[in-house]
Structure 1
Amino acid sequence: MYLQNQIVIEWIIAKYYEDFSFEKRLENSIKMEMELHPLKEGEALEIHQVVFVGEFNNEKVYLIILNIVPEKVTD
């Protein structure tokens, strides 16, 4: 879901695994969203917030809030 200059993604973790990498799964969720809705030229993403919503039917639900910002150009 897009709200002005932000993207909000509902992220559901169905099961808990001992070798679970929160960071890697978060990165994969963002990549999947970007494949469905690519950014325009000159835009970049910045993580604004990851909010734990709650646990329902053995699933943990999070909202990932991303800011769409101008891409930084490095020389």
Structure 2
Amino acid sequence: MLEAQQALDVAAFNGILSLAIVLRKRKLLTDAETKSLHDIMSQPLSLAGNADNPVVQDAQQNLDQLFALIVERG
């Protein structure tokens, strides 16, 4: 069950980022909207019980870096 949830999480994460990249390329996603999307995706990672987990911290760092690239390319 955990492996299925992890696979679903990765699929959703990849899909959202891919969609954001396409929307930015088409000038349909502003910097503010991109930041908002980043904030929404980061929120669960910063919840109590998650924020101190090294795996979650690594995921947050990866998310931050990917969104920085999305903004840079836009």
- TM > 0.5 fold call: no
Q: In proportion to residue count, which structure has more helix? A: 2
TM-score, normalising length: structure 2: 0.33
TM-score, normalising length: structure 1: 0.33
> Between Structure 1 and Structure 2, whose CA radius of gyration is higher?
1
